[in-house]
Amino acid sequence: MMKKRWLNLGFQLSALVLALGFTTLILLATKTDPWQAYKYIIIGSISSLRKFTDVLVSFVPLLLVSSGLLVTFSAGLWNIGVEGQITLGAIATTWVLRLLQDSSLAPGLIIALAMLAGMLGGALWASLAGALKTYGGVNEIFGGLGLNFVATALTLWLIFGPWKRPGIGSMSGTEPFPNTLWLPMISGFRLSLWGLGLGVFFIILIYFLMKGTYFGLRIKAVGKNLKAAYLLGVPTTRYLMLAFILGGALAGLTGAIQVTAVYHRLIPSISSGYGFLGLLVAMLVNFQAIWVAPIALFFAALNIGSIQLPIVLKLDSTLSGVLQGVLVLFVLLMDGVRQMITRRSGGAS
Amino acid sequence: MHLLFIKQMNINLNQICKHFGKLQANDHISLLIPGGTIQGILGENGAGKSTLMKILSGFIQADEGEVILDGVQVRIHSPADAIQHGVGMLHQDPLDFPPMRVIDNFVLGQSGGLFPDWKSVVDEFKQLSEQFDFKLRHDAYVDMLTVGERQQLEILRLLWLGAQVIILDEPTTGISALQKQKLFETLKILAGRGKTVIFVSHKLEDVENLCDRVVVLRQGKLVGEQLKPFNTKNLVNMMFGKSIALEESKSHSTDRIAFELRDLSLEEERIQIQNIDLKIQAGEVIGLAGMEGSGQRPFMQACAGFLRPVHGRILVNGRDMTGMNYPAFKRQGVGYMPASRLEEGMIPGLTLSEHFILAGQQEGLFIDHDQWQEVTREKIRDYNIRGKPESPVESLSGGNQQRALLALLQQPLKLVLLEHPTRGLDIESVIYTWGKLKERCCDGAAIIYTSSDLEEILLYSDRILVFFSGKVSAPLSARGTSVAQLGNLIGGKDWARIKTGVGVTA
């Protein structure tokens, strides 16, 4: 058993080496010095406290959305609609903030209500994809993809229509909210400890939910064999819907954080691709909640670290995306290789 | 072609050894098979039969020992290698490509040019089918064929590729009595034409009916050999190291009605079943006999609440359950055990203990793992499962998965529905399984089960329903029915002489 674990770790490490090797080749092909590029990524992410807090700002939404995706993944669902769920969370949050910003309620209460609304919005959007799947027989990938487009269209319509800035609507988003409606931040930095706290709280919650509860076990059972789970007495439709709702609520909270702690308004690309990046994280951790935080932190560091690449090396900052994507591909590939090897050496008649 | 003149191949396996980890699957097995004979390889599950045959057919390599074909020592590295040497293997599940035509499947294994020469291939196919008296159409689609016909297709393909030796691994699993008879005829023709047939099975009866000679494996060793005529008692002794027989079964039927069907009509894609009236007493065992696809499955599904009847009523313990779904049936005490263990019955990747948690009652939010470990250990003892609470279910052997499925059925039950509860099990496990099921009957559960083993049906049932293309017989008493009578009914004969629970059929 122990030997097997080391073997698995070996394969995962070799995937990391291969991914780095592949990215290096790409860099060489574009006539860039790979060491320079990697050095600037590291410097750009951890060289100063300010930069590291920026990494954490990117880490919080990725952590939240990945935690939610862990649940849908465990239920055997490809929740591609997660981008739309983030967007709807942001829209719902913005809506409540707009509604209550002139009221006499305490700002803290308004923010709390807005964030709850964000979770509800995400959950609602996810349950649409869920209902399409469980009652309509529409694969969640297609349903989710369609709803993503609808969510984007809805955002643009709001920004240029009913919620446009006084005068003229612009791609820069809605009118920013006053400071009092921002999630409190550490002074001098962009990081909100409240956001970080929520992220940490939810990944711990999901960890225990999936590991120790009846709910988590049933979600896993549904994901691994829907038919057998039904025969054993698990109400499968209900658990599929619950997985969607929980995943959607966390995606919605991600959107709420983007509005209350990062942009302080609704912008057209409010989800910032965190949904798709979260899918990569969820794939990489292979259902193990314990790995979500470290991987999400690593990805966030890559994101922030590569921001200055265009300035110093004339290299597009999407290099981090290349590395992240290649990493996932190689991990999946090495996992296939591992299975092939262990199957060949084992297997009695 | 080379098929037309008679060439016989002698097989000599010398001191074959193979181990998987600590398990010695084949332990110095030596065996001589003369050409043109039907050689039986008998043994219970896990005796090492399949391993030996996989070595001969190139799927795996032996650790030690020699394979000598016609006096020449050969090394067989792959199945393609094996067929080059004239050895072909027919697997437990046909390895064909259902959405394609017969002739496409036929050509697939052939090496050579990009474009098959269709005309000559079709001619050769027809010639071969004629020679062995197969009634396969080359332009039929494979998914329309029966399992038996698919076996024929696979045999033809192997012959066409030049096989002198054909290995069949448990070929009678999951096929009807009629298909089995047909298969045996085919194999006898093959042997008559000089081919060597190796027949691997754990079914004594099949081996006795078909083979010229038989060797018995037990725990990786070759323990004995017999020529026709066989001494059954002796063979059983060799297989199990002790003598056992299917024991007499006792009825636990009471006069309380546990389950009732009133004028029930069902419709599924191709099958219609009409106007069934049936009352089952608590403790009674009802066997469903018939070829696969004759309507047993929709019948069982209706009894479990998966399939909504188009007409009539279903009553569980006197309560009208018509139109309700499976969870409602389950709450009323109806348990259902599917035939395919890992596809429908269990969840690969989860442990035994996790299965008992899923099937059990939730207490609180968090799982008390210690408590469930204890429950699982108890079930493991109680049901004689070889495994640990933390074993993933896919690591258990077929017999142990079966016992685990039985253990997972809730307690108590009013009605237990079982699809092929003993398929693929050795005799000891069959006896054990029925012992456990009869305990359920003692506790007042009624049982409905399907089986393609007629002796099992006659031995363990109180009454029998025979299915033939959607027709359902009135319940026959198991005591007053013989294997021959049952066989005829399953094959569609003698229906005029019995009552059916059925009006019109489509």
pLDDT in tens, A224-245: 999 999 999 999 999 999 999 9
Q: Does B51 touch chain A (CB under 8 A)?
A: yes
Q: Is residue B154 located within the same domain as residue B274?
A: no
Residue with tokens 């258990």: B396
Domain end (from B206, B240, B274) = B240
Which residues of A are less than 8 Å from B46 in CB distance?
349
Alpha carbons B253 and B288: distance in angstroms, whole number:
17
pLDDT band for position A67 (cuts 50, 70, 90): very high
Q: Specify the amino acid at residue B175.
A: I
Q: Is residue B236 located within the same domain as residue B261?
A: no
Q: How many domains does the structure of chain A reveal? A: 1
Residue B287: give its domain's CATH number.
3.40.50.300
Which residues of A are less than 8 Å from B77 in CB distance?
none
In a domain, B371, yes or no: no
Instruction: Please report, rounded to a whole number, the percentage of residues in chain B having pLDDT higher than 70.
Output: 90
In a domain, B159, yes or no: yes
Answer whether residue B82 shows pLDDT above 50.
yes
pLDDT of residue B110: 64
Q: Is residue B204 located within the same domain as residue B100?
A: yes
A152-174: per-residue pLDDT in tens?
Answer: 999 999 999 899 888 777 778 89
CA triplet A32, A34, A35: central angle to 5 degrees?
125
pLDDT of residue B502: 45
Domain end (from B198, B213, B240) = B240
Size of interface A-B (CB pairs under 8 A): 75
In a domain, A290, yes or no: no
Q: What is the mean pLDDT of residues B201-222?
A: 86
Closest chain B C-alpha to A213 CA, distance in angstroms: 4
Test B23 with A348 for CB contact under 8 angstroms: yes
A200-227: per-residue pLDDT in tens?
Answer: 999 999 999 998 899 999 999 999 999 9
ipTM: 0.85
What average pLDDT is seen over chain B?
84
Q: Is residue B437 located within the same domain as residue B315?
A: yes
In a domain, B504, yes or no: no
Range of the domain at A98: 57-272
Q: Does A2 touch chain B (CB under 8 A)?
A: no
Q: Is residue B146 located within the same domain as residue B28?
A: yes
B231-269: per-residue pLDDT in tens?
Answer: 877 887 787 665 445 555 667 777 788 899 999 999 887
Which residues of A are less than 8 Å from B366 in CB distance?
212-214
In a domain, B423, yes or no: yes
Closest chain B C-alpha to A60 CA, distance in angstroms: 27
Q: Is residue B46 located within the same domain as residue B108?
A: yes
Q: Is residue B430 located within the same domain as residue B312?
A: yes
Q: How many domains does the structure of chain B reveal? A: 2
Closest chain A C-alpha to B488 CA, distance in angstroms: 35
Answer whether residue B506 shows pLDDT above 60.
no
pLDDT of residue A235: 93
Residue of B nearest to A208 (CA): B366
pLDDT of residue B97: 64
| Residue B128 CB neighbour total at 10 angstroms | 19
Q: Report the range of poorest mean pLDDT among A320-334, B85-99, B167-181.
A: B85-99
Closest chain B C-alpha to A268 CA, distance in angstroms: 41
In a domain, A237, yes or no: yes
pLDDT of residue B419: 92
B434-477: per-residue pLDDT in tens?
Answer: 988 998 998 889 999 998 888 888 889 999 999 887 788 889 88
Test B49 with A349 for CB contact under 8 angstroms: yes
pLDDT of residue A59: 96
pLDDT of residue B115: 67
Alpha carbons A8 and A5: distance in angstroms, whole number:
5
Candidate from A220, A221, A231 with C-beta closest to B338: A231
Q: Does A338 touch chain B (CB under 8 A)?
A: no
In a domain, B109, yes or no: yes
In a domain, A221, yes or no: yes
Q: Report the range of poorest mean pLDDT among A32-41, A106-115, A246-255, B237-246.
A: B237-246
Q: Is residue B17 located within the same domain as residue B62?
A: yes
Q: Is residue B191 located within the same domain as residue B308?
A: no
Test A228 with B49 for CB contact under 8 angstroms: no
Answer whether residue B1 shows pLDDT above 80.
no
Please give the structure tokens belonging to residue A188: 């001098």
Q: Is residue B197 located within the same domain as residue B136?
A: yes
Range of the domain at B430: 257-333+410-497
Q: Is residue B116 located within the same domain as residue B73?
A: yes
Q: Is residue B189 located within the same domain as residue B263?
A: no
pLDDT of residue A30: 85
CA A341, A344, A346, A347 torsion: positive or negative? positive
In a domain, A6, yes or no: no
Test A212 with B366 for CB contact under 8 angstroms: yes
In a domain, A164, yes or no: yes
Assess contact for B347 and A225: CB atoms under 8 A: yes
**B93 burial via Cβ count (<10 Å: 0-12, 13-18, 19+):** exposed
Which residues of B are less than 8 Å from A232 in CB distance?
347, 355, 358-359, 408
Domain end (from B213, B240, B267) = B240
**Among A291, A284, A326, A319, CA closest to A305:** A319
In a domain, A8, yes or no: no
Alpha carbons B478 and B349: distance in angstroms, whole number:
41
Instruction: Please report, rounded to a whole number, the percentage of residues in chain A having pLDDT higher than 90.
Output: 62
Q: Does A39 touch chain B (CB under 8 A)?
A: no
Residue of A nearest to B53 (CA): A349
In a domain, B339, yes or no: no
The tally of CA atoms less than 13 A away on the side-chain side of residue A302 is 19
pLDDT of residue B96: 59
pLDDT band for position A346 (cuts 50, 70, 90): very low
